[in-house]
Structure 1
Amino acid sequence: MRPLYTVICTFLIFTSFSINGFGQGQTTYTVTGLITDSNTGEPIPFASVALVGRKNGTLTDERGRYTLTVKLLTDSLAVSSMGYKTLRKFIDKERASQAVDFKLTSVGTALQEVTVRAGENPAWRVLRQLRKNRSINDRTRLSAYEYDSYVKTDIGLTHVTDRMRKNPLIKKINQAMSKHDSIVDDEGHRVLPLLASESVSRYYYRDNPSRKREDIRKTRIRGVAVDDAGLSSQLLGGTNLVNQNFYDNYIPILGKDFASPIGDNWRNWYEFYLADTTQIGDHVCYEIQFDPKRPEDLVFKGKAWIDTTTFALCMIETKIGSGANLNYVKGLTIEQELEATYDSTSNKSVTAGWLPISIHLTADLTGVGKQSLGLRANVTLRNNNIIVNRPKPMLFYEQPIEPSDTAATANDAYWASVQKNLAGSDSLNKEDLKTREIIGKLRAVPAVKAAESVGQVLITGFYKMGIIDLGPYPYLFAVNSIEGLRTRIGFRTNESFSRNWIFRGYLAYGTLDNRFKYGAEINYVFSRQKWTIAGVTINRDLERLGLTPELIGGNRIFYALSRFGRYRGTYDNFQKEAFFKTEPIRGILLTATIGSRAFDPLFPFHYREQPDMGDASPLRSDIFDAYWSIEARLARKEKYLMDGNERITLGTKRAPILTIRYTRGAKSLGGQFNYDRLTLRAQQSLRIGVLGRMNYLLSAGYIPSTLPAPLLFPHIGNPTPLLTTNTFNRMQYYEFVSDRFVALHLQHRFEGLLFNRLPGIRKLNWRLIANFDALWGSQSEANKSLETSKPLPNGARSIRFGSLDPDTPYMEVGYGIDNIFKLIRIQAIHRLNYLNNNMNGIPTDKFALKASATLSF
């Protein structure tokens, strides 16, 4: 089970109910005091007083006195003023009123001279110097580094409206909670905890070539919809959630690219103000405030503190504005504090680069509409025991994430040591302990358990029932012209059954053809570290030419919908395979397969067995194919997680995924044909700065042998109203078949580049999207000669497959609007050529409007 995703899905299910409940906490706290110089005793006017970990703060008056009134206290207060060291003191979070005085110590650090040019913003000079010194200060200059990392994550529901308080589910939750079970956020809203976790790991990085590894040493998790500590530790531990490097030009968050305020293009995105100099730890820093030039852009607002001597980034506080073109996000803040590191290979104190020692992330999510619930996530990270420039051997980094066998084992003494030496003062305070108590009570509420189950099904497609998972549910029902009402039930075993043996299977039945269909698979996992697995499969079912699960890349929804309606190009497929796959080197997955398949068409199709005889050749409709294949998949820097017995890929970081496959058809294995088949595939997501993101899929195939059309390359058409990427959306099913081809699918998301600049439209948060699809292909004369125009015994003519002119590519272009109501995408598709290709009585439409629905930030 995927806990983080299921927690979020549970939140979405709560919002979907016709949502007594959470009240508003109105308690206020007041802290007063006097700030003076420790040497002279003189009051310090206009000193900054702020709660540590919160945005609440104030300034002292002319007499050095301050009054701070808030709805929620943290456990410490910080005071800073120009020329003095920052001082922190603990305060009592439970007291409504208290007095705390500070005596600040002056610091005599001399500032570098700052030359201000006439008419120039004085902050620009500091930022230019920061970029100039990046090669000295940025962590990427290090050949290697490692450190101990502590991460605390809390997720809870908040912002319950009056309408939601009438919901029966919320009422049942409140019946299970006592009056003392309440936690209040910094806005005074009560929070319903869903998840609380802590994780300790050792993180390793080396450069040239870039490699990462994280050894998860200990994890403890309490939460709703969480029952897998192994996967949870991978999702919530270490640097998976908070590892932003603001020296980069763009910061990836929630699948979007935010322009960094200290990146190369800082002047294009931000307005800057040089505010003051401030003491941050042992460093005197320039304080620079930044605001977006256009609030709708994917940018931040906040403050950065830059060391006055090295021009290194010491600390940064960023916040995503409410006007940003981002879905479901009410607010998001990231706070980082960095420290200089010293070369561990040298006896001298040589500064080697700056690494983050403290990171705090807060995200407030909301559903669609003003009456939706809110979801708040808080992540706190502490790094310590840093070692730099001591790279490990390459083999050490082969397993990127390695949970300890005892990661989830309880050990109170271990956690007491962590809180003392690594986690810091904000680990497991009174609020955290109360959170864990509430979660324990919440998991016992039957209505919450039901919401967990529904969320699990929506996210994974399976319902977990003991040692097996039932599903996937998109395939449960279909209605088509061949099978009538088709019902299907499937299952897979999970890690509770075995961590090595995996069984999968399904059974389907059609009321019109009165036939059972089935599939079964047995796998054995030899190694998770190098992902080595072997298996055998058997499958007997109806398929549509050109639309097998392998060809459409695991798109379950498209594959399920393709079984509805008129089921053209259907054939009975009986396939058996045995396979072995292994990843001997990280990022290189090798697969060997041997198998056979029987093709028996349910549509009028015949081919010539002896094409040199012309129309006198005997005809045949069925095909028996026996083959073996080898495949290599290269995915450099690919990230993945282990979810029980399933390996979940998280994609690559700006690197293409390359796949090459060779297949040999062999009569010696019992098949009808000897043939060779070569396919290549490359796909990647490209970041193009202010222009947005572009995704491409480039594929090619070559068959030098003479084969019937079903064994060649039937290109994937999509005549349905559903928009599907990486298909030809104005091409009919199996309209064109090739024995050699090159296909290109380009999709570009402009994000808010254009619409954010149009008055009136920019408030809608629409996003422009465009695509271009092209196909170069052809068939040899030998393959064309296998087709027959001779009438079949029943008088029908055999289906004929079109072929492309090798000098003229098939082309489509599309453009449309994404993010309508934060969900809908409508796109216009134009077919540019082959407009008179009326094959098999199916007209060609050169234009269509198509739609799809996706949940994305």
Structure 2
Amino acid sequence: MNTGMVKKILFFLFFSLVAFSQTKVGGKVYDEFGDPVAFANVLFKNSKTGVITDENGSFYFEADEEYSAIVVSFVGFQTQEVPLKKGLNANLKIILKEGTELKEVIVYTGKTSKKNNPAIDILRKIWARKRKNGLYMFDQYKYDKYEKVEFDMNTIDSAFMNSKVFKGMEFIFDNIDTSRITGKTYLPIFINESASEVYGDNVLNKKKEILKGNRNSGFGNGDGVNTFIKDLYADYDIYKNYLKFFDKSFISPLSRTGIDVYNYVLSDSTFIDDKWCYNIVYYPRRKGELTFKGDFWVNDTTWAIKKINLEASKSANINWVKEIYIEQEFDVLNDSVFLLKRDYMMSDFSLTKKEESKGVYGKRTTIVKNHEFNKPKDEKFYREEVNFYDNEVFNQTDDFWVENRFEKLNENEAGIYKMLDTLQTVPKFKKIYNLASILGSGYIQFGNLDFGPIFSTFGYNDVEGQRIRVGGRTYFGPNDRWRIQGYTAYGLRDNQFKYGIIGKWMVNTKNRLILSLGNRRDVEQIGVSLTTSNDVLGRSFASSALFASGVNNQLTSINLTTLGAEIEPLKNLIFQTNFSYRTLKSASSEFSLDYYTDLTQSEIKSEVKQSEINLVAEYTPKRKTVGYGVDRLEVDNNYARLFLSYSNGLKGVMSSDFNYQKLQFYYRQPVLIGGFGRLFTTFETGKIFGEVPLGLMGVIPGNQSWFVIENTYNLLDYYDFVADEYASLHFEHHFNGRLFSRIPGLRKLNLREIVGVKGVIGHVSDENRMLNASNLNYVAPENLYWEYYAGVGNIFKVLRIDFAWRGNYLDMPNARKFGVKASFGFYF
């Protein structure tokens, strides 16, 4: 017998042994016409263990006990009892017949009634008490928390196990298991455990979590991966109207707006932990919306939730996630207080939503114990640490985990640590892991040096022609206190080398005091952002684009040197100061930065030499970052940002040419608007006091690329407008498919709607106009330039197309009145 056949036999033998240790059942429910029956009740006979079918009529559930039959029911149909064999009962096909008698109380066929519905009467009582249950009833609280996060490859079959990819790594399949939610086989590949103490003060509206231990499966050092995971599985409160998952707002079944999107049915009542509870089943009224199906048990006196489960609709407009399943259980502290004791969430990440498609489960289990109440802490206690990193937290002993693990790892979970330690000694696995790391980070690692980013290797502009770039950085780990990073580039048309290099050193880790020094000599497009930056390695997208519309020859040669320092005294509040010296001159014979040096306009200078000191304050509340070193990665951009900058030009210092003062303010605010998506508002304003030439002037950012670029104007070319004082306001709203989901022909495409409007007003002083000797006439948007656009996103899950219209200044030379822009990205 060959080894492949042996593996198959062992696999099915193992699967069968697991299956016969409990009762597992799955299948589909149909009506007599062959159509699936969505949201039918399926229960083990003489039990309260069961599920409701999804919108495709499918179901799966299991129990540790043995049951001989299931009972399938739906209002308007005859209840059917289906016998079961021992162990696994898969792919059942159950056909329900229409009922012969419909009693008056049966009003829940299809869309349930909002009137005379006892389930909705109970729901209103839940709304009235939702702020009077749980932790909200105490001024202060404290509890211990254990959290386990796991990732598993799912839909494991013999063909998958015998794939050549796993040759030499077959031992990993010793940890295969079966999901109690979906019935699919899965292989655990990552596990992270954390233990912490949580403190809260409802009077001060403050909360703090102190991490006591964190343990990874072997990938990373417990901070980067864990931070990313915690963003995916953010905390949520089922009593709130909207629950945020994967940057989407799902409507809670306990929401005050729930009766408009859910059907509710009072299904059962019984004692749970000596408390009389009602069972309410709920399911969506429409397909395509961000809703759930499931049921919950609610106490009849406190109207607090005792148990609840939520399963996201398979037709919900969310990418790369096939399923979301949530369970929560609440503990009874006394007659009036119910506290969350266990929270379980599972997501099935997959390229498609087809039932047979393979994917990855992401699971999080949170268990809380040992509550204490009304023990106040000083307000200083709740101040968030700026950059706290305790190496001991990530190196706790096995004894610590035995004491602080509130839920014992099963045999397969416990084997993950050993399996992954072994995997990292397999050369083939190292190659696969390194390739994934390169694609994820953009860097190729050689010892303690990273080369990249590889995605910036090639570029193009009208001055340099084809541009080749090679870069690298030092890298000992994500928590490096110092880093040197640089690049060199060469233009095949101008035959010139360019370079940039910067070094950073974190002097004080507690408040993130960082010193930096850098120099860059390169070609760039000035004026692609209203809010300017002295980032040495920053490079304009406009001067390195592969795809651009119109002429792109208005480029500037820049030699920039900066010496800077920054500090973060409070979490997400950063102060910066730097001294910079730059020289600017045109990089093209077809473009000029010339300016007059005297009032008679008899002398012209082509090069700007400028020394400047810059002070910056930046506040980014609720920003999440990865790492504790000199460089951190942002987890996402869904946070507010306030940026205030003051710059002072120092004439005469190192032959500097101009005295001036510049003030700039930037404010960006994303706002979730319930079930109607997310609104992004961006406001920028600035003013230059003093006389400056074109090279130092404010330029309204145009967009000559074929792509959507944030905070630029779609229908403006570079240097269409300049200003020494300006105000800009952008609104962009993402409906996330809310409108298209109501249109039958578009519903299945899961398209998403975007609308936006942008406007800018500005002025140029007479003194700065008199200074101008370039071949560019100053035009300021004194009459408020504006444009608007509408877009369709999620085309093939990765493509967005915007259609933009110009609102005014239609008579400008070569004015673009209409344009189409695109962008690519992977979004949930």
Give your verdict on TM over 0.5.
Answer: yes
- Compute the displacement of 1:711 (Å): 0.8
| Alignment-derived partner of residue 537 in structure 1 | 518
| Alignment-derived partner of residue 267 in structure 1 | 259
Secondary structure at 1:703's aligned position in 2? strand
1:296-375 alignment, distance < 5 Å: 296-339=288-331, 354-368=338-352, 373-375=358-360
Contact 1:213 1:400 in 2 (8 A): no
Aligned: 1:387 with 2:372: yes
Secondary structure at 2:119's aligned position in 1? helix
| Alignment-derived partner of residue 221 in structure 2 | 228
- Compute the displacement of 1:268 (Å): 1.6
| Alignment-derived partner of residue 712 in structure 2 | 727
| Alignment-derived partner of residue 657 in structure 1 | 641
Contact 2:45 2:69 in 1 (8 A): no
Contact 2:261 2:284 in 1 (8 A): yes
Contact 1:251 1:259 in 2 (8 A): yes
1:582-731 alignment, distance < 5 Å: 582-603=567-588, 604-610=591-597, 612-614=599-601, 617-642=602-627, 644-650=629-635, 656-670=640-654, 671-731=656-716
**CA 1:23–1:834 in structure 2 vs 1: closer, same or farther (change >3 Å)?**
farther
| Alignment-derived partner of residue 413 in structure 1 | 399
- Compute the displacement of 1:408 (Å): 2.5
| Alignment-derived partner of residue 461 in structure 2 | 480
- Compute the displacement of 1:235 (Å): 4.5
Contact 2:753 2:791 in 1 (8 A): yes
Q: Residue type of the partner of 1:613?
A: T
Q: For 2:21 and 2:202, how far apart are their aligned partners in 1?
A: 50
| Alignment-derived partner of residue 511 in structure 1 | 492
**CA 1:504–1:120 in structure 2 vs 1: closer, same or farther (change >3 Å)?**
same
Contact 1:144 1:389 in 2 (8 A): yes
Contact 2:45 2:67 in 1 (8 A): no
Q: For 2:539 and 2:431, how far apart are their aligned partners in 1?
A: 25
- Compute the displacement of 1:119 (Å): 4.4
Contact 2:480 2:630 in 1 (8 A): yes
| Alignment-derived partner of residue 398 in structure 1 | 384
- Compute the displacement of 1:779 (Å): 0.9
Aligned: 1:546 with 2:527: yes
- Compute the displacement of 1:665 (Å): 0.7
| Alignment-derived partner of residue 217 in structure 1 | 212
Secondary structure at 2:371's aligned position in 1? strand
| Alignment-derived partner of residue 46 in structure 1 | 46
**CA 1:145–1:240 in structure 2 vs 1: closer, same or farther (change >3 Å)?**
farther
- Compute the displacement of 1:587 (Å): 3.5
- Compute the displacement of 1:699 (Å): 0.6
One of 265, 275, 278 as aligned partner of 1:283:
275
Aligned: 1:814 with 2:789: yes
- Compute the displacement of 1:154 (Å): 1.5
- Compute the displacement of 1:369 (Å): 7.8
In the TM superposition, what whole-angstrom CA distance separates every residue of 1:258-306 from its partner, at most 9, and x where no partner exists?
1111122121221111122233335332211111111211111111222
In the TM superposition, what whole-angstrom CA distance separates every residue of 1:380-432 from its partner, at most 9, and x where no partner exists?
1111122334343333322178553212225122122224xxx13xx211121
- Compute the displacement of 1:334 (Å): 1.1
Aligned: 1:182 with 2:176: yes
| Alignment-derived partner of residue 760 in structure 2 | 775
**CA 1:738–1:138 in structure 2 vs 1: closer, same or farther (change >3 Å)?**
farther
Q: Residue type of the partner of 1:405?
A: N
**CA 1:257–1:527 in structure 2 vs 1: closer, same or farther (change >3 Å)?**
farther
One of 802, 807, 811 as aligned partner of 1:832:
807
Contact 1:635 1:652 in 2 (8 A): no
Q: More deviation in 206-215 or 740-749?
A: 206-215
Contact 1:582 1:589 in 2 (8 A): yes
Secondary structure at 1:464's aligned position in 2? strand
One of 844, 849, 852 as aligned partner of 2:815:
844
| Alignment-derived partner of residue 558 in structure 2 | 573
Contact 1:246 1:262 in 2 (8 A): yes
Q: More deviation in 318-327 or 299-308?
A: 299-308
- Compute the displacement of 1:498 (Å): 7.7
- Compute the displacement of 1:810 (Å): 1.0
Question: Unaligned 5+ residue runs, structure 1?
Answer: 1-19, 33-43, 70-93, 98-116, 342-348, 789-797
Give the TM-score normalised by the residue count of structure 1.
0.80
Contact 2:528 2:712 in 1 (8 A): no
Q: For 1:376 and 1:787, how far apart are their aligned partners in 2?
A: 62
Q: Residue type of the partner of 1:130?
A: I
Q: For 1:784 and 1:141, how far apart are their aligned partners in 2?
A: 65
Secondary structure at 2:527's aligned position in 1? coil
1:90-169 alignment, distance < 5 Å: 119-137=115-133, 139-140=135-136, 142-159=138-155, 168-169=164-165
**CA 1:529–1:129 in structure 2 vs 1: closer, same or farther (change >3 Å)?**
farther
Q: For 1:181 and 1:690, how far apart are their aligned partners in 2?
A: 41
- Compute the displacement of 1:162 (Å): 9.3
Secondary structure at 1:128's aligned position in 2? helix
Q: More deviation in 756-765 or 440-449?
A: 440-449
- Compute the displacement of 1:56 (Å): 2.3
Contact 2:156 2:187 in 1 (8 A): no
Q: For 1:720 and 1:275, how far apart are their aligned partners in 2?
A: 58
One of 462, 481, 485 as aligned partner of 1:500:
481
Secondary structure at 1:502's aligned position in 2? strand
Contact 1:57 1:68 in 2 (8 A): no
Q: For 1:589 and 1:823, how far apart are their aligned partners in 2?
A: 34
Q: More deviation in 720-729 or 815-824?
A: 720-729
- Compute the displacement of 1:228 (Å): 2.1
Contact 1:494 1:644 in 2 (8 A): no
- Compute the displacement of 1:725 (Å): 2.5
Contact 2:386 2:569 in 1 (8 A): no
| Alignment-derived partner of residue 198 in structure 1 | 193
| Alignment-derived partner of residue 251 in structure 1 | 243
Contact 2:686 2:725 in 1 (8 A): yes
Q: For 1:483 and 1:45, how far apart are their aligned partners in 2?
A: 76
Secondary structure at 1:136's aligned position in 2? coil
Contact 1:506 1:518 in 2 (8 A): yes
- Compute the displacement of 1:164 (Å): 6.8
**CA 1:659–1:141 in structure 2 vs 1: closer, same or farther (change >3 Å)?**
farther
In the TM superposition, what whole-angstrom CA distance separates every residue of 1:228-269 from its partner, at most 9, and x where no partner exists?
2233444457x9725210111111100101111112212122
Q: For 2:173 and 2:164, how far apart are their aligned partners in 1?
A: 19
**CA 1:444–1:259 in structure 2 vs 1: closer, same or farther (change >3 Å)?**
same
- Compute the displacement of 1:631 (Å): 1.2
**CA 1:563–1:436 in structure 2 vs 1: closer, same or farther (change >3 Å)?**
same
- Compute the displacement of 1:340 (Å): 5.5
| Alignment-derived partner of residue 103 in structure 1 | none
- Compute the displacement of 1:468 (Å): 2.6
Q: For 1:737 and 1:509, how far apart are their aligned partners in 2?
A: 30
CA-based RMSD: 3.5
**CA 1:355–1:574 in structure 2 vs 1: closer, same or farther (change >3 Å)?**
farther
**CA 1:597–1:771 in structure 2 vs 1: closer, same or farther (change >3 Å)?**
same
Contact 2:233 2:245 in 1 (8 A): no
Q: Residue type of the partner of 2:452?
A: G
Q: For 2:335 and 2:492, how far apart are their aligned partners in 1?
A: 77
Q: Residue type of the partner of 1:193?
A: P
Contact 1:234 1:401 in 2 (8 A): no
Q: For 2:145 and 2:595, how far apart are their aligned partners in 1?
A: 68
| Alignment-derived partner of residue 56 in structure 1 | 61
- Compute the displacement of 1:651 (Å): 5.8
**CA 1:846–1:138 in structure 2 vs 1: closer, same or farther (change >3 Å)?**
farther
- Compute the displacement of 1:466 (Å): 2.6
- Compute the displacement of 1:316 (Å): 1.5
**CA 1:534–1:822 in structure 2 vs 1: closer, same or farther (change >3 Å)?**
same
Q: For 1:557 and 1:855, how far apart are their aligned partners in 2?
A: 23
- Compute the displacement of 1:637 (Å): 3.4
Counting matched residue pairs gives: 744
